[in-house]
């Protein structure tokens, strides 16, 4: 399972799009954030993603835990958010640009390069 | 259901004790936080409370949503954390000082007065 790293500068809407896509692909997702502002963005991201996935019958929740992360040789404590659904996840597929209507409230997911490392 | 308001200065350990007690009384709990640092403390509080309640067979998770809060006539947007258990909650009762062993890892819950308003 891929881990989405949320930075303090991550846009919650874009991150929520990436989270929703990851969830559609794998039926679950995981976020990691280090520092108060990144944790705040991660929580907002999940709140927004709940709205994105609600119409598919997905009822997101998350389980937080502490995680030790190595950053350039220095160990820092961050938060890991395991994201799951309270309802059975229907067979979903990632939303591609081609089948996203122009007026969709869900922004395109950022590319991997757009993600800032923790 | 009582709402625990988490401030940026709230101690996650003490807040986790209050959350665990609230959960034992009502089988569910709700937190509210405004601002990145308060949201961060709320997430840490839930991560710690998971450890407190795990031995009782409670498997905490939470569902975040946005909430509008009136603060002295000014409307601010905060985060509401609905805290639930993935497993059925056994008949629990709040832990009182009298039956808390001295070496208990769970600190006493702060009094209502100790809580700083959001």
Task: Say what the ipTM of the complex is.
Answer: 0.76
Cβ-Cβ contacts under 8 Å, B66 against chain A: 44, 47
Query: Cβ of A46 and B64 within 8 Å?
Result: yes
Asked if the C-beta of A64 comes within 8 angstroms of chain B's C-beta atoms, the answer is yes
> What pLDDT score does B88 carry?
82
Asked if the C-beta of A68 comes within 8 angstroms of chain B's C-beta atoms, the answer is no
A24 three-state secondary structure: helix
The string of pLDDT tens digits covering residues A1-13 is: 789 999 999 999 9
3-state SS of chain B is CCEEEECCCCCHHHHHHHHHHHHHHHCCEEEEECCHHHHHHHHHHHHHHHHHHHCCCCCEEEEEEEEEEEECCEEEEEEEEEEEECCCCCCCCCCCHHHCCCCCCCCCCCCHHHCCCC
Residues in chain B predicted with pLDDT less than 50, given as ranges, are 100, 102-105, 109-118
- Alpha-carbon distance A24 to A42, whole Å? 18
Q: At a CB cut-off of 8 Å and minimum separation 6, what does A8 contact?
A: A35, A37, A38, A41
- Alpha-carbon distance A102 to B16, whole Å? 44
Q: Is the pLDDT of residue A101 over 60?
A: no
What is the CA angle B5-B8-B10, rounded to 5? 65
Tokens of B31: 């937190």
> What pLDDT score does B89 carry?
76
Task: Find which of B58, B61, B77 to mutate to test the A interface (most A CBs within 10 Å of its CB).
Answer: B61
pTM, whole model, 2 decimals?
A: 0.77
> What pLDDT score does B94 carry?
67
Cβ-Cβ contacts under 8 Å, A84 against chain B: 61
- Alpha-carbon distance B118 to B108, whole Å? 21
Tokens of A12: 């919650």
The string of pLDDT tens digits covering residues A56-95 is: 889 999 999 999 998 889 999 999 999 999 888 776 666 6
Average pLDDT over every residue of A43-64: 93
Asked if the C-beta of A56 comes within 8 angstroms of chain B's C-beta atoms, the answer is no
Q: Is the dihedral of CA A48, A50, B39, A83 positive or negative?
A: negative
Asked if the C-beta of B43 comes within 8 angstroms of chain A's C-beta atoms, the answer is yes
* A95: DSSP letter: P
Cβ-Cβ contacts under 8 Å, A36 against chain B: 36-37, 39-40
Q: Is the dihedral of CA B102, B106, B111, B114 positive or negative?
A: positive
Q: At a CB cut-off of 8 Å and minimum separation 6, what does A106 contact?
A: A16, A17, A20, A52, A95, A100
């Amino acid at each position: 399972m891929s881990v989405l790293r949320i930075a303090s500068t991550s846009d919650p809407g874009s991150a929520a799009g990436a989270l929703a896509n990851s969830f559609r692909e794998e039926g679950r997702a995981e976020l990691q954030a280090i520092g108060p502002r990144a944790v705040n963005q991660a929580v907002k991201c999940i709140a927004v993603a709940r709205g994105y996935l609600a119409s598919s019958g997905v009822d997101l929740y998350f389980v937080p835990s502490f995680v030790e992360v190595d950053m350039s040789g220095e160990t820092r404590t961050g938060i890991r958010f395991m994201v799951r659904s309270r309802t059975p996840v229907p067979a979903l597929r990632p939303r591609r640009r081609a089948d996203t209507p122009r007026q969709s409230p869900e922004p395109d997911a950022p590319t991997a390069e757009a993600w800032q490392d923790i």
